[in-house]
Structures are given as structure tokens and as C-alpha cells.
Amino acid sequence: MSKTPMRVAVTGAAGQIGYALLFRIANGDLLGKDQPVHLSLLDLPQAQNAVRGVVMELEDCAFPLLAGFTVTDDPKVAFKDADVAILVGARPRGPGMERADLLSANAEIFTVQGRALNDVAKRSVKVLVVGNPANTNAYIAMKSAPDLPAEAFSAMLRLDHNRALSMLASKANVPVADIEKLAVWGNHSPTMYPDYRETTVGGKKIASLINDEAWNRETFIPQVGKRGAAIIEARGLSSAASAANAAIDHVRDWVLGSNGKWVSMGIPSDGSYGIPEGVMFGVPVICEGGHYKRVEGLSFDDFSKERIKLTLDELEGERAAIAHLLK
């Protein structure tokens, strides 16, 4: 092994997304087939035994790129010198729990984890928040880590992006790989706005191939938005393999580049597109050289303005609900 191992921390390592994610990271899908990794696995004290079981299985794969493990219930141990941190572990909504209770329970987790990242992670760390409510959890972690650049923090919209790509490919009867310039705006929730007004296939606008605005408004947008709930309904469990796959796509492109393609990431707003600065908002980006760059200069028609407002209002509401916890 010639390269120095990169340290990848994963929280919620004993959970179902963790189980679909860790083996792919160890196999080189995240950082490249020549990049050794050290995995730092964080989960709650009561899940430590389960994490050890996952570690046994990782060992039994004899992955050539897997340079070592840390297993812990202490965020400061897990995030020590982390190059990448994928924050999956979160408090699920329990019976009788209101959305506000869910936001506060998760605010506590992501305040602690943000502070730990601030104290011990590499200054160049890249943080992806998957655990729901992902945008607001990422916002809380970012606000709890004042010594790290805001650009270190992101929320996962890539599963929505991939869901939208797949639906468009099927509707227009074209290969997924040929689709370019898709955007998913806003919150990872049913208010998100998957937007194919700029999307092309082989240089042609996919909107003109599909030519069905009613399908866009009445089928595409609601189905992308509610896909997570449809999977929970069908599987009795939330999306795990597709969520892990999206997390890999998100971090791989951020680190290694998106080859000029648009991808959607939840990132702190710089004030563009009328989104107030700091709001963790899904936007189209192009990744290159370890950085993302927002796609600029897009315009919104009246329908798009309404959709952006809807998802922004929801995010602003979430931000207001946890504001007192950040003081």
C-alpha cells in the first residue's frame, strides 16, 4: 500500500444504512481503488456489540484497502483526525413524538457531534449528514463547529437526485448515464423541488422529449418527494442500500470530482438565488479538485419560485424551532 490511509468516520455504524455503507467504503467505492481507509465507527453504548459483529464481518472480507478500525461510543474518539465524516446515526421519530420533539432530540446529537468535529477532525474534513432531518442536522453541526469552514458541512440530497434521474430516464426512455443538468432544490423532505427545466439528454432538453407538464407537477415532483415514505410502506423499513449508495456518490464526487456533471448537494447558502445565507439548502453543484461549486445564473419561472419558497419556508421553520438550542 503506497498511499497514507484516509480516516473515514461513520456514525450509526450498527444501523441498516451503516450495514450497506461500510463494506462499500472498505472496497474502495468511496475514495478510490488505490486509497487505503481507516474506518472509525461510532454508535451508542448499547449498540457496541452489534458494531463489533459488523467489524468481524468486515475482517472476514479481507479487503486489501482496509487499513484499520476504531470502534467507539465517543464522538471525540471517532472524529479524531477524520478526513471524511458520514453522520448517519440519528434519533428516529418514536410513537407520540411531534416533529418539534424530533428536531430537539436530533439537535442535541448534532450539537455534540459538531463540537467534537470542531475539536478533533482534520481542518480539511468533509462532513455529510444523512440522519434526518438531514438539512437541519447538518446546519446544527455546522453552527456547533465555528473553527471549521462552513463549506465542510453538507446534507444528503443525492438520494432524491438519483431517484429523480431514474424516473426521468424511465419516462423519456433514455439511459440514466446520458442525463445531464438535473437539480434538486431545498430540503430533504417532501417539499424538495426536483427540477428538470435545464436537464438535457445528448444535448436536447429532456422537457421537450417528455413534453408533459402535468406529469411533472402531478406525478414526478410528488413521487420523488414521497419516495422515502413509499419504501417504508413497502419494506417496513426505510431506504438503506439506496441511501448508502447515495452517500457514496455524494462523498466520492466531492472528493474525486463529478467530471463536469451537475449533482445536488445540501450546502450552506451563500445568499444566491434569494436563499438566506447559511441555510442548508439543496442546490446543483459541480465538484472538482475536492471542492464543490454552485451552478450559477439559473432563472426561476413562477412555478419554480413557488416551489423554492415552499421548501425554504419549511427549512426556516425548522431553523426557528431549534434556534434556542444553539445559543
Of 202-241, which residues contact ligand NAI (CB under 6 A)? Answer: 238-240
Which cell goes with 209?
Answer: 422529449
Q: Whose grid coordinates read 472476514?
A: 60
Q: What is residue 88's three-state secondary structure?
A: coil
By the rule CB under 6 A, 136 interacts with ligand OAA: no
Of 19-48, which residues contact ligand NAI (CB under 6 A)? Answer: 42-44, 47
Q: 282 touches which of ligand NAI, ligand OAA, none (CB within 5 to 8 A by kind)? A: none
Output the CA–CA distances (angstroms, integers) from residue 121 to 85, 115, 145, 147, in the order listed.
Answer: 9, 10, 10, 11
Q: 17 touches which of ligand OAA, ligand NAI, none (CB within 5 to 8 A by kind)? A: ligand NAI
In 12-151, beta strands by DSSP E: 37-42, 66-72, 84-87, 126-129
15 vs 228, beta carbon nearer ligand OAA: 228
Q: Minimal distance in Å, beta carbon 229 to ligand OAA?
A: 6
By the rule CB under 6 A, 231 interacts with ligand OAA: yes
Distance of CA 159 to the CA centre of its chain: 8
Q: 43 touches which of ligand OAA, ligand NAI, none (CB within 5 to 8 A by kind)? A: ligand NAI
Q: Minimal distance in Å, beta carbon 92 to ligand OAA?
A: 7
Going by DSSP bridges, is the β-strand pair 193-195/183-185 parallel, antiparallel, or unpaired? antiparallel
- Scanning 14-22, 24-32, 248-256, 295-303 for contacts with ligand NAI by CB under 6 A, the matching segment is 14-22
- Scanning 28-36, 47-55, 170-178, 231-239 for contacts with ligand OAA by CB under 6 A, the matching segment is 231-239
> Rg of the chain over CA atoms, in angstroms?
19
Q: Minimal distance in Å, beta carbon 106 to ligand NAI?
A: 8
Q: How far apart are CA 73 and CA 81, in angstroms?
A: 16
Amino acid at 205: K
150-189 footprint of ligand OAA as x/- string (CB under 6 A): ---------x------------------------------
Name the active-site residue from 38, 188, 250, 291: 188
Contacts of residue 94, Cβ cutoff 8 Å, sequence gap at least 6: none
Burial class (CB in 10 A: 0-12, 13-18, 19+), 27: middle
How many other C-beta atoms lie within 10 A of the C-beta of residue 178? 13
By the rule CB under 6 A, 167 interacts with ligand NAI: no
DSSP of 184-228, one letter per residue?
Answer: EEB-SSTT-EEE-SS-EETTEEHHHHH--HHHIIIIIHHHHHTHH
By the rule CB under 6 A, 228 interacts with ligand OAA: yes
Amino acid at 272: S
Q: Minimal distance in Å, beta carbon 83 to ligand OAA?
A: 25
Q: Is 161 a catalytic residue?
A: no
Q: Minimal distance in Å, beta carbon 258 to ligand OAA?
A: 21
Binding site for ligand NAI (CB under 6 A): 11-12, 14-18, 42-44, 47, 88-92, 109, 130-132, 134, 156, 159, 188, 238-240, 243
Binding residue positions:
12-18, 43, 93, 99, 106, 113, 130-132, 163
Residues with catalytic annotation? 188
